[in-house]
Amino acid sequence: DQQVKQNSPSLSVQEGRISILNCDYTNSMFDYFLWYKKYPAEGPTFLISISSIKDKNEDGRFTVFLNKSAKHLSLHIVPSQPGDSAVYFCAADNNDYKLSFGAGTTVTVRA
């Protein structure tokens, strides 16, 4: 039973526009959330994180929003660039050494 769900397997966006990736979770004990980016034939790389005590965290073009009451987080990429084309994984941590990952969303940025 997946505790972290990314319901959109893919997203296509034009270069320069905003990409919005969504993630829902079911476990209310999760207190730390992360986004990872993955290129083909490479391992995931850390992108941005947010603690449950915050509702927003920003790092350059990437912003993560957390809505605890809805058990929902989103990643905004503004503006989208061709190098952003990758698979994005949402992950959640409930303070027990184990990360729970979503299935990933494949982002394609069109020129």
Residues 1-30 interacting with another protein (rule: CB under 8 A)? 2, 4, 6
Beta strands in the chain (DSSP E): 4-5, 10-14, 19-25, 32-38, 45-51, 56-59, 62-67, 72-77, 86-93, 99-101, 105-110
Which residue stretch of 13-21, 60-68, 75-83, 97-105 sits at the interface with another protein (rule: CB under 8 A)?
Answer: 97-105
Determine if 98 is a binding residue for another protein (CB under 8 A): yes
Torsion sign (Cα): 72, 76, 82, 83 = negative
Which residue stretch of 11-19, 40-48, 56-64, 75-83 sits at the interface with another protein (rule: CB under 8 A)?
Answer: 40-48
* Torsion angles phi and psi, residue 83, rounded to 5: -70, -10
Identified binder of another protein from the candidate list 49, 57, 94, 108, rule CB under 8 A: 49
Give me 9's structure tokens: 């397997």
**Beta carbon nearer to another protein, 45 or 81:** 45
Calculate the CA 44 to chain-centre distance: 12
Positions that interact with another protein (CB under 8 A): 2, 4, 6, 32, 34, 36, 41-46, 49, 89, 91, 93, 95, 97-104
